[in-house]
Structure 1
Amino acid sequence: MSTSTRVTALDTLRGVAILGTLGTNIWIFTHPGGFAGFVADTAGGDWFETLLRTISNGKFLGLLSIMFGVGIAIQAGSAARKGARWPGWYLWRAALLFIEGVLHYVLIFEGDVLAFYAIVSILVAFLATRSDRAVRAWMVAAATLHVALISLLTAGIVAGGGDIAAGVNGLPSPRTWTGQVAMRLEHWTVFRAEGVFIVALSTLLFLAGVRLWRAGAFTGDERGARIRRRLIGWGLGVGVPLNVAAAFAGPQWFLVDRYLCAPLVAFGLLGGITALVHRMRTEQGPLRAALSAVGRSAMSGYILQNLIASVLCYRWGLGLAERFGHDGPWFTVAMWFAVSALVMAGSAWWMRRHDRGPIETVWHGLYLLPQRGRVETRV
């Protein structure tokens, strides 16, 4: 496979992952009760709404996590070819990601994952250049810890008739943006509780991305095709049936649905999308080009889609969730299509004119800033 085709596949995967995470978050934005209302209503409505939620719940977050790991592996390989120290300046990149995640959480969206990703990326950066045996050992340890945690919590919920929404009951639903900011700051322990589930899982998925990149899962030869067939088999043949079963088993199995079954499906999505890109013509059609543009400006797209959804749905904006959120899943689906279309159109327009997304451009300048200062000091 040519380098350009490989990059296109990665960009497409990132684009799908970014818009897919919106597929999960849009249920929060469009719920009249906001984040607290969404968590309290994890059982969903009828079977159709449960199915719609199941399609996106956790899968694209898992895909995004795997792609983060692929990105770390690529950067580590680039550093090795240049003879640069690793992780070296990547730690500054992780610090910038953490700061961005904190700001995004406080100012825009309480469901942000970037700060957690920044923490995990530091560990994975040190492991990315270790042997396959060492990486596998860390993956086994992370998987064991994660499965044990989800199993124990789920067993406790099922046995005790517990409610995963207990921690968010009574949270306010502010009508102003400043009220939302204050709520996130005051109740940060509640909103950041998902980190308990994300850190071990993200470590596993980041390292899986490192392994998949090393193994050649994105190449066009038979080795890459064989890996993708296995991913599709596990994701669709095993992950999907388990995911559907957990989703329809009731709200007590929400943690299993989102944090155990969905990541399995994410591997199937990765294999299937990559295989599909390889079968397409080299020339990109409008849809694929737009997805690739979102993937090339992934950070900007992620923040932009949450900002647009906030303006459209929250009370301090147009307040559409309060007006139409009671009308069933059709409003939620329509909002996902509308926001996705805006993000894709905006990304395609921007990337035709620039090499990086707007957030990526600022981030790149901040990333180089201390290095420039160091060079000037030496001179």
Structure 2
Amino acid sequence: MAASRNPEVDLLRSFALVGICIVNLPLLALYDAPEPVRAPTGLDEIVYFANVWLLEGKVFPLFAFMFGWGIAGQQAAAARDDVSFEVRYARRLFGLLVLGWFHALLVFAGDILVLYGILGFLVWPFLGFTVRGLVRVALSAVGLAVAASMALGWILVYEFTGLAEGPGASTFIDAVIQRAINWPDTFVFVVLFNGPAAFSAFCLGLAAARIGLLNPDSETYPWLRKRVLPFTLLGLAISFGYATAEAGLQAETPSALAIVGMGLGPIGALFLSTAYLVAIVELARRVRFPQAFVATGQNSLTTYVLQGVIGGALVSGYGLALGPHLGSAGYLAVALLVVLLTMLFLRVWQIWFRRGPLEEVLRAITGSR
């Protein structure tokens, strides 16, 4: 008999996907829509800074943490089904690579599925590590993430010349061609921004699942809960420094201090994403969320891709082309609309089908029953 599914795991994925949609939506239109036709307002500037401070680089590690958590579930499922975990895991990662490539071309060049597929192979040698060993590997990867973040800051100041953009991508085919041209540069950005941090989160998520972090008798979760306030304050302070540093990345007046400050991002994210995890779990244990919200976490692959499909249709040049007319505040409102539409779709889908469409595709590739 399959183990009952922990609803807190699904809610953690759901909240992470809400944040990812808010962060990603402006990027969906960046190279697929004409230049903005309005100057940013004071509210736009506040929303943009808050986005960088509170969400950018903080929700992706939480999502990656749940990916690592899922690896433990896949190991248990393979043992339960008496099949080779190695074969099933390899096929799953191959499926992510294939789906990610199509997603990068057809929906969003900033796709993370290809990266997750690659990182899934890189974390493979560490799957046999003890919990303590996984934590040590994860903390070591944070140092690599700091270096990668500073390298990204240096590239943005001294090397980044800009990707093709503008009204040329007024059709879907134009956008696909543009993404194909931009993808190598974009993938370098994705690797530096998300790669080491996601790898660290994979290891931490796997370790957390093995010790039963969310079990009622967990000894580790109460330890985290007691420290959520200092973790939050540290995360907010360090992430504020990162957001300020990012605002100082100007090629016209390059600042070494701003580049170094970019390295604060992964450190602040480690504390703040941990605080988010505790806050979400505490909320989940006190509030009954609608099934439509839970459904997005149960079908996180479909949710992630569908957010890009709906968002692109709204903001990109090949869709309604709302992007040029939106400031950061407008993008936030549209992102929440995209989240709502995605939830409604998946809730209706669940009435007739057990899993999301892309979950079924991935399971078919994996060979899961």
Report the CA distance shift for 1:296/1:231 in structure 2 as closer, same or farther (over 3 A): farther
Structure 2 CA distance for partners of 1:354 and 1:228, relative to 1, 3 Å: farther
The amino acid across from 2:172 in the alignment is W
Q: CA deviation at 1:48?
A: 4.3
Instruction: Indicate how the Cα distance of structure 1 residues 165 and 229 shifts in structure 2: closer, same or farther if over 3 A, else same.
Output: farther
For 2:313, the aligned partner's letter is V
Question: Paired residue for 2:15?
Answer: 16
Confirm or deny that 1:311 pairs with 2:307: no
Distance 1:32 1:332, change over 3 A: farther
SS in 2 for 1:221: coil
Structure 2: 5+ residue stretches without partners: 250-257
TM-score under structure 2 length normalisation: 0.84
Aligned residue runs from structure 1 range 162-181, under 5 A: 163-164=156-157, 166-169=159-162, 171-173=164-166, 174-181=169-176
TM-score (norm 1): 0.82
Paired residue for 1:377?
none
Q: Give me the whole-angstrom Cα distance separating, in 2, the residues matched to 1:362 and 1:153.
A: 34
- CA distance 1:89–1:340, shift in 2 (3 Å): same
Task: Output one character per residue of 1:327-348: Cα deviation in whole Å (capped at 9) or x when no partner.
Answer: x333112201211110111111
Residues 71/49 of structure 1: CA separation in 2 closer, same or farther (3 Å cut): same
Residue 301 (str. 1) matches residue 297 (str. 2): no
User: Structure 1 stretches (4+) deviating beyond 6 angstroms?
Assistant: none
Work out the CA distance in 1 between the residues paired with 2:313 and 2:32: 16
1:215-226 alignment, distance < 5 Å: 215-221=211-217, 223-226=219-222
Alignment partner, residue 209 of structure 2: 213
**Does residue 1:198 correspond to 2:194, yes or no?**
yes
Distance 1:349-1:362 versus aligned 2 partners, 3 A rule: same
Shift of 1:30: 5.2
Residue 48 of structure 2 is matched in structure 1 by 49
- Change in Cα spacing, 1:45 to 1:189, as seen in structure 2 (3 Å) is same
> 2:157 & 2:309 partners in 1: Cα distance?
27
| Unmatched tracts of structure 1, length 5 or more | 373-379
Alpha carbons 1:228, 1:275 under 8 Å: kept:
no
The alpha-carbon distance between structure 1 residues 367 and 36, as it changes in their structure 2 partners (threshold 3 A), is farther
- Letter of the structure 2 residue corresponding to residue 292 of structure 1: V
Contact 1:29 1:35 in 2 (8 A): no
Structure 2: distance between partners of 1:124 and 1:309:
32
Q: Aligned partners of 2:159 and 2:44: how far apart in 1?
A: 19
Answering whether residue 84 of structure 2 is matched by residue 93 of structure 1, we say: no
1:185 alignment partner in structure 2: 180
For 1:265, which of 261, 269, 272 is the aligned residue? Answer: 272
**1:295 Cα deviation from its structure 2 partner:** 0.6
Residues 105-139 of structure 1: CA distance to partner in whole angstroms, max 9, x if unpaired? 01111111000001111232442232234323422
AA matched with 2:294: S
Tell me how far 1:189 sits from its aligned partner.
2.0
Once the two structures are overlaid, the 10-residue window that deviates more, 19-28 or 252-261, is 252-261
Q: List per-residue Cα deviations over 1:199-229 (Å, max 9, x = no partner).
A: 2221111001011112221112352541441
Q: For 1:14-163, list aligned pairs within 5 A.
A: 14-29=13-28, 46-151=45-150, 154=153, 157=154, 163=156
1:36 deviates by 10
Match of 1:239 in 2: 235
3-state DSSP of counterpart to 1:88: helix
1:317-332 mapped onto 2 (5 Å cutoff): 317-322=319-324, 324-325=325-326, 328-332=327-331
Aligned partner letter, 1:171: A
Q: Distance in 2 between matches of 1:184 and 1:258?
A: 27
- Judged with a 3 Å threshold, the aligned counterparts in structure 2 of structure 1 residues 183 and 81 are, in CA distance, closer, same or farther, namely same
Change (3 A) 1:90 1:54: same
Residue type at the aligned position of 1:172: E
Instruction: Give the Cα separation in 2 of the matches to 1:293 and 1:83.
Output: 28
How far is the alpha carbon of 1:91 from its aligned partner?
0.4
C-alpha change, 1:170 and 1:63, in structure 2 (3 Å) is closer
Contact 2:49–2:243 (Cα < 8 Å) also in 1: yes
**Cα shift readout 1:292-315 (whole Å, capped 9, x = no counterpart):** 100111111111110001111111
> What is the rounded CA distance, in whole Å, between the counterparts of 1:62 and 1:47 in structure 2?
24
Give the 3-state SS of the residue equivalent to 2:84 in structure 1: coil
Question: Deviation at 1:144?
Answer: 2.7
> What RMSD over aligned residues (CA atoms) do the two structures have, in Å?
2.9
Alpha-carbon distance in structure 2 between the residues aligned to 1:336 and 1:12? 18
Measured in 1, the distance between the counterparts of 2:275 and 2:165 equals: 39
Q: Does 1:358 align with 2:357?
A: yes
CA 1:149–1:57 in 2, change beyond 3 Å: closer, same or farther? closer
- Aligned equivalents of 1:180 and 1:279: distance in 2? 44
Provide the C-alpha distance between the structure 1 equivalents of 2:227 and 2:127, rounded to a whole number of angstroms: 21
Between the two proteins, the alignment pairs up a number of residues equal to 348
AA aligned to 2:184 is T
